[in-house]
Structure 1
């Protein structure tokens, strides 16, 4: 399981694993509509499920996040070994899509429930990573954080993570530094959260 950085927080990971690694068994249906602004996201009423969800994310959302068509994609499930975490066994469901010029869109959800006190610790640690700036937010769960990191010269990663009920969801977009990167990240995170929202009602 990754928290806010793949190679950190192993002690916290073990604490979560002891609470159980099972996810919800019923996948969410594809959304009929998706908010275009994160300010419209009613996080308090959402029931984000802990399931494999890559096929639920609209392809148009992937293309919008990357600013181009994806050239490669991959997914992982609870118990898989994670490339970004040195092949350690993870406890999450996740997806990644890659485009040209070091562009990437990723999202993952922890496979087991998360307590608010643990989530608060994740928010605090987001601002302690080298090369990153973390700001607490209420737009993407409670608590939640938006993190901005410089990952290479001219390349930036913007990440949102937050607690929806007892589900911790993380989403991020990486790409060349651009004034549009934050807006693309926000739209991406709304699309992912909406895809996982089992409490959604049809219009």
Structure 2
């Protein structure tokens, strides 16, 4: 029979085994987890169902992703000029008035510029139809094949010296939303409308009702 000393040695070995195993397990690195957000990917207006979008008639410009601005302006965006309902704002170059909307204007390089504005008061469907008619200009062409941006909606391409504007505007429920993008005049219609459409999707997402 084993002597007392041999029993003590055996017990020590048996006790040490699970302790050593526990130390090995504790020393193992935990599985790697990524906390990085997925890279920004814009959405083409043709792939965005604006009929299912509900907007909040409230400030939204501070929720616009910088990546969306960089893509729209084809480069790093400059400072943002934002205004709120009831504030004095430059509604057009050289025209300053009290705004009844929430909006912002961001300039980029080579004359690029992005704008967006959301009416503060509710808009009826009949009034939206009038707004579509009022926005049409003889110097602008309607992009009749462009995807809808609300209902009713309007898509325009307008010349402006050495650049052109593409704009989308429309009714989302009772909220009238408009957005536009200026780019060099040598940008063809399809690319201009695509970039403007992606910018306008980002605007609609920023102005959407938060859960």
TM-score, reference length from structure 2: 0.73
1:78 has 2:85 as partner: yes
Is 2:209 aligned against 1:198? Answer: yes
> 2:190 aligned with 1:183, yes or no?
no
Q: Displaced runs of 4+ in structure 1, greater than 3 A?
A: 32-35, 135-138
RCO comparison, higher one (Cα < 8 Å, 6+): 1
1:46 aligns with 2:57: no
Gaps (5+ residues) in structure 1? 1-31
The superposition leaves residues 90-118 of structure 1 with CA deviations (integer Å, 9 ceiling, x where unpaired) of 10000111011211011010001001001
| Contact 1:161–1:171 (CA under 8 A) maintained in structure 2 | yes
> Is 2:107 the counterpart of 1:98?
yes
Q: Where is the helix percentage greater, Structure 1 or Structure 2?
A: 2
The residue correspondences of 1:111-150 to structure 2 (distance < 5 A) are 111-127=120-136, 129-135=137-143, 139-150=148-159
CA pair 135-42 structure 1, distance change in 2 beyond 3 A: same
8 Å Cα contact 1:155-1:174 kept in structure 2: yes
Secondary structure of the structure 1 residue equivalent to 2:109: coil
**Paired residue secondary structure (1:101):** helix
Deviation, 1:69, is 0.6
In the alignment, the residues of structure 1 paired with residue 98 and residue 141 of structure 2 have an alpha-carbon distance, to the nearest angstrom, of 27
Q: Describe the SS at the equivalent of 2:126.
A: helix
Query: Residue 61 in 1 paired to residue 61 in 2?
Result: no
Q: TM-score scaled to structure 1, two decimals?
A: 0.76
Partner Cα separation in structure 2 for residue 187 and residue 61 of structure 1: 8
Superposition RMSD on alpha carbons, in Å?
2.0
Structure 2: gaps (5+ residues) = 1-38
